[in-house]
Amino acid sequence: MVIKKQYAERQLIQKEKGVIPEQIRNIRTSVQYLANRRNLKVIMVTSCRQGEGKSSAIVNLAYFMAKNDKKVLVIDSDLRLPTIHKPFQLQNFTGLTDFLNELMDEKEIIQRVVENLDVVTSGPLPYNPTELLSKARFKTFIDTHRGDYDFIFVDAPPSGLADSKIIGSVCDSTIIIVENGKTTKNQLKTCIDTCKMQNIDIIGVIRNKIRKKKHDSNYYYNYVKE
């Protein structure tokens, strides 16, 4: 299945009509269908390389799910280059790292963005991101909130990093974001093979930043498969 989504870099698409929101809804429908069939609730979003637009994809997908009366939590677990707070215009002075370091309670780090949509920002950048994510508190936090939300999206670093292996081990499945014209077939194959070797399930791939004509805006091509 191939779905196109017009895309504005690092923007939260809030309008209801037009090509952009319609294509986001198409992606939402496909992800929800496969997730419901396979009982998937916690989904990691990763990429082959840095800067492929995974954070923007996750916030727009989560926002439109929330508008469809789904309770959604977005967690920024990219503790090396966090960006989830930017589209939502949130401060990132506190967040996940404070909870993992036992400096804050879990309720203190969850921020309500709009109705049905909560966000956990990364918090201050740590010197030991892999060690922090390895703590039992990370898995416990996710497992504790499985019953509170319909979907939990976890923004992760590129798949080649040890952090993503840890994050993937506590998630039900994964969406991979690739950038058209930049991510090669070999890089994508390596990314997929890495996930498989780590027993990380993949629900689909979104190909980002495709232009059909010079005057066109950017598009997503979303390949969702079981």
Indicate if the pLDDT at residue 212 is higher than 70.
no
CA distance 6 to 147: 33
Mean pLDDT (whole number) for 181-195: 86
With pLDDT > 70 as the criterion, what percentage of the chain qualifies?
Answer: 83
Amino acid letter at 101?
N
Position 15 confidence tier, pLDDT thresholds 50, 70, 90: low
pLDDT tens sequence across 127-153: 999 999 999 999 999 999 999 999 999
Please report the pLDDT score of residue 1 as a whole number: 26
Q: Note the pTM of the prediction, 2 decimals.
A: 0.87
Q: Name the band, by pLDDT with cuts 50, 70 and 90, for residue 22.
A: confident
As a whole number, mean pLDDT of residues 81-102 equals: 94
Instruction: Give the pLDDT confidence score for residue 226 in this predicted structure.
Output: 45
For domain 2-224, give the CATH number.
3.40.50.300
Question: Which phi and psi (to 5°) does residue 41 adopt?
Answer: -125, -40
Higher pLDDT, 84 or 160: 84
pLDDT tier, 26 (very low <50, low <70, confident <90, very high otherwise): confident
DSSP secondary structure of 46-58: EESSTTSSHHHHH
What is the mean predicted confidence (pLDDT) over 31-40? Answer: 93
If you average pLDDT over residues 30-38, what whole number do you get? 92
pLDDT at 209 over 70: no
Q: Where are the domains of the chain?
A: 2-224
Rg over alpha carbons for the chain, rounded to the nearest Å, is 16
Helix, strand, or coil (residue 138):
helix
pLDDT of residue 211: 58
Please, what is the angle between helix 19-38 and helix 54-67, to 10°? 80
Q: In whole angstroms, how far apart are CA 186 and each of 48, 74, 209?
A: 10, 30, 18
Contact present, 56 and 10 (Cβ < 8 Å): yes
Q: In angstroms, what CA-CA distances link 173 with 43, 133, 153, 169? A: 5, 18, 10, 9
Percent of the chain with pLDDT over 90: 57
Phi/psi at 184 (nearest 5 deg)?
A: -85, 165
Q: Residue holding tokens 């952090």?
A: 163
Distance CA 115, CA 94 (A): 22
Cα–Cα distance between 94 and 140 in angstroms, integer?
19
The amino acid sitting at 47 is S
